Structure 1
Amino acid sequence: MAREKVIGSNSNPDDSNKHDAALRPKLLKEVIGQRKVAERLEIAVRASKKLNEPLGHILFDGPPGLGKTTFATVLPNELGTSIQLTSGPALSKPADLLPFLTNLDEGSVLFIDEIHRMPRIVEEFIYPAMEDFRIDIVLGEGMSARTISMNLKRFTLIGATTRSGMLSGPMRDRFKMHEHLEFYSVEELATIVRVNAAKLNTPITPEAAHELARRSRGTPRVANSRLHWTRNYSAAEHDGPITEPIARAALDMAEVDRDGLDKNDRKYLETLIDLYAGGPTGVEALAATINLASDTLADEIEPYLLREQYITRSPRGRVAMPRAYIALGKLASKPKTEDKQGGSLFD
């Protein structure tokens, strides 16, 4: 049997927290995938430096794990400035935003994750900060109330959202750039796995990296999770590099099938097919049956199932597609579901 080429080298593992921090790219040139987005950001960064202006406000949207936070943390490194991080749910009132805005340095970055979950009152409070770099603070109540306008240092707001449609029109319009992140190819994910395995001082063969990438749902965060699990499995059960058979055995034990579906994906599809006859049914009904939050289904499970055509969305709800029946071995029992025009979805 031919020997497989091994990438990486053997050494003692470092602290796991240092490993996690080391996996995140530091510069745009280190980002793998999303090249069109990275190229546009590189132009924006060069223009910002040349014009001596803060980078325009940026909104990143797309499913979880595709690199929104990575881009947000890379940009301050490119600009040579600082970053403050918070999230929409943590900003329940305008006062929660004040410490971040008043402590900003000139040209620094304020990153708000899950920005679509920011309350409308906070959203309206940040409008003048985004447009004119000032905030209006109301002191007192009733007839004695007065408004003080406070100037801020010029900054860049970066927002990340999995649901850009939930942002109000005025909020979306205040972002100079709106970048949508797409799922990654298997080749891009295999490169990410190889690079991160080297950072973790974990030898891995190209074939094993490809196997991990193929089962990672087009998502770097999932690929890194698969890599960490396979690394642990290999260290406990085997000596030497991670090979393709080891990668397959590790992922099979983790209940991740050859198509990248995990137990929650299969539970979703089984519920839709077995309990709801393949649909159509609403996401709230599915969430209640599976005992998972509807946001979890909509943001983490469904994007991949929709992209890979396991399910589709109709005006009446989710419908299982032929590939879902094949994946679960239920092809012979699939119903003759009809679409709006009366034709079978499976004909």
Structure 2
Amino acid sequence: MVSTASEAEERAVESALRPKNLDDFVGQARVRQQLSLVLEASRIRERTADHVLLSGPPGLGKTTLAMIIAAEMNAPLRISSGPAIQHAGDLAAILSSLTEGEILFLDEIHRMSRPAEEMLYIAMEDFRVDIVVGKGAGATAIPLDLPPFTLVGATTRAGLLPGPLRDRFGFTGHLEFYAVEELELVLRRSAMLLDLKVSSAGFAEIAGRSRGTPRIANRLLRRVRDWALVHKIDEIDSSAAAAALDMYEVDERGLDRLDRSVLTALITKFGGGPVGLSTLAIAVGEETETVETVAEPYLVREGLLGRTPRGRIATAAAWQHLGLAVPDHLAAGQAGDLLAELLEPDTDFADN
């Protein structure tokens, strides 16, 4: 038996840590400035705001910005997701129940079904939907007018959005990963709301292990809070934060157990690669989708892992991070030749 009380508490805490307006939102200065202008112009014109598309990796604040847009426009917020809308009728039911000026937030909008996307085109542009009644030759389309609304779409893979849908958004904002300094500001605000005493060095320690993502930073802060509570520590400094995060297997570069398992297997079992994705996944006991979508993006961004047509390779930085001697073929001056060789097409290699 597993109690849901702790999960409900975590969700409540996470919700409380979300900023409620653009002034409290830390980071993403360019997107915040542009979005503020769009919303202010809409208020001056006394019209609903243009449709907004927010893209970027998970955990950077897309859902939070949608909530802020609703708060700034003083409008109700309706939340749904692309995977939940698999039929045009599902979308028609949501759209027909919207009120004037309401904000409709669709998370992972790129995962909507094609019929629903085609219905959304007309709804976004003309504020109407055509509901088909009957089948075959006797089917008729009944037009249904919709009140003006604002659609806020969020996606982690903007390239999967069809062009006609993407072009109907009046404003598109791409969220970037946060710098360590910006994450420290996020953590300071969260610590104040959680009534935690954390030193500047403690904030820096947690921020440096947060992978440039506010959601991860806040989660690590809560875990450090738990560790400090159990060990009866009043003020969290860098050593306390490091000890807590080490216990949770988050190292100084933000790598967790899965990340290190991938690098360790790649280096110790396959000599640093190249090795195919499915073979690497089997070696660490995970699904290929888990390795590709969870571990790889951060390892590649940190320069610890490379992707080539022949498979995955470990960089010199990966060997150094694991405390291993860098092979001669990865030494300075030879890495470029190796990479050029690995990038040559290999039609026989299919396991990548």
Q: TM-score, normalised by structure 1?
A: 0.88
Taking structure 1 as reference, are residues 142 and 18 closer, same or farther at Cα in structure 2, changes over 3 Å only?
Answer: closer
2:303–2:315 CA contact under 8 A, matched in 1: yes
1:325–1:334 CA contact under 8 A, matched in 2: no
2:33 is paired with a residue whose SS is: helix
Shift of residue 146 of structure 1?
0.4
The separation in 2 between residues aligned to 1:292 and 1:333, in whole angstroms, is 27
Query: Any residues of structure 2 matched to 1:240-319 within 5 Å, and which?
Result: 240-319=234-313
Q: Percent identity?
A: 43
User: Residue 191 of structure 2 is aligned with which of 178, 181, 197?
Assistant: 197
Q: TM-score, normalised by structure 2?
A: 0.87
Taking structure 1 as reference, are residues 248 and 343 closer, same or farther at Cα in structure 2, changes over 3 Å only?
Answer: same
Shift of residue 225 of structure 1?
0.8
The separation in 1 between residues aligned to 2:219 and 2:128, in whole angstroms, is 42
Alignment RMSD (CA, Å): 2.1
User: Residue 151 of structure 1 is aligned with which of 125, 145, 152?
Assistant: 145
2:58 is paired with a residue whose SS is: coil
**Further displaced range: 120-129 or 294-303:** 294-303
Query: Any residues of structure 2 matched to 1:1-347 within 5 Å, and which?
Result: 18-333=12-327, 339=338, 341-342=340-341
Shift of residue 259 of structure 1?
1.1
The separation in 2 between residues aligned to 1:174 and 1:294, in whole angstroms, is 35
- If asked which structure has higher relative contact order (CA below 8 Å, sep 6+), I would say 1
Taking structure 1 as reference, are residues 19 and 165 closer, same or farther at Cα in structure 2, changes over 3 Å only?
Answer: same
**Further displaced range: 297-306 or 128-137:** 297-306
The separation in 2 between residues aligned to 1:118 and 1:98, in whole angstroms, is 13
Shift of residue 295 of structure 1?
4.3
Taking structure 1 as reference, are residues 124 and 291 closer, same or farther at Cα in structure 2, changes over 3 Å only?
Answer: farther
Shift of residue 31 of structure 1?
0.4
Taking structure 1 as reference, are residues 272 and 166 closer, same or farther at Cα in structure 2, changes over 3 Å only?
Answer: farther
1:30 is paired with a residue whose SS is: coil
Shift of residue 220 of structure 1?
0.4
Taking structure 1 as reference, are residues 198 and 314 closer, same or farther at Cα in structure 2, changes over 3 Å only?
Answer: same
1:63–1:300 CA contact under 8 A, matched in 2: no
1:185–1:218 CA contact under 8 A, matched in 2: yes
2:142 is paired with a residue whose SS is: strand
Structure 2 gaps of 5+ residues are: 1-8, 344-352
Structure 1 gaps of 5+ residues are: 1-14
